[in-house]
Amino acid sequence: MSPSSKGSAIGVVLLVTIIEDSGLIVWLVLLRASILVMGFPVAALVLLLVLLAEHSIMQSALNPKFTGKILLEILGFTLLEVVNWAIWLALLSVNDIIASAYFFVGFYAEHQITENVLTQQPYLQFRNARATITAGVILETLSEGVGARLWILFGLTGIVLLLIGSVIEHSIQYVVGRLPVQQSREDAPEPSPPLVSPNEEGPTPSEMR
């Protein structure tokens, strides 16, 4: 990767990190400050729009084929992420272990779908030809989960830890999104039959007599 490419990658990672974490902070403030029930859908809508912008920036940076279909796919896993954050936060008041387990499962699925769109794989494919992608998704999920939990635990001082976890997450996501993915045998195109030149044609009927 050239110095200019490295600078561009760092810029994208920092930008999406700032956007996502700012959205999460605003979302949490809206939830805690809301007395009326209407505050909950407003907070969810704000988080949805922020995460949609974050995912779109990352996708456009890595995926040259940014089409309307991809935008709909981004909307799909962004909705899943909003639901994941809401359920995880609610579970924290019930049991920390249950909340952590849900976070890993829910966000692993969301991160895997994100990488599928980045690498132009089937939307719900959870088995990859490259084990590096699966390992990357696991590390993304763990780094984001640890950062988010420490953020909730330590409050304002935990924002720094949230940022660190998000930078690690998005750095891995950027690297994994650039990996070439091997085609499976089912997806690989069938080889075309060999071309036969006129000089290599079989014997004529008269030659076979």
* Whole-angstrom distance, CA of residue 74 vs CA of residue 118: 10
- Closest C-alpha to 49, from 86, 81, 15: 81
Q: Which two tokens stand for residue 117?
A: 């769109």
**Phi, psi at 144, each rounded to 5°:** -70, -40
Q: Mind listing the pLDDT tens digit of every residue in the chain (209 residues)? A: 566 677 788 999 999 999 999 999 999 999 988 666 566 888 999 999 999 999 999 999 988 788 899 999 999 999 999 999 999 999 999 999 999 999 999 999 999 999 999 888 888 887 766 666 788 999 999 999 999 999 999 999 999 999 999 999 999 999 988 876 554 434 444 545 555 555 555 555 555 55
- State in Å, rounded, how far the first CA of the chain is from the last one: 65
The ranges assigned to domains in the chain are 3-180
Residue located via tokens 């794989």: 121
Model pLDDT, residue 37: 56
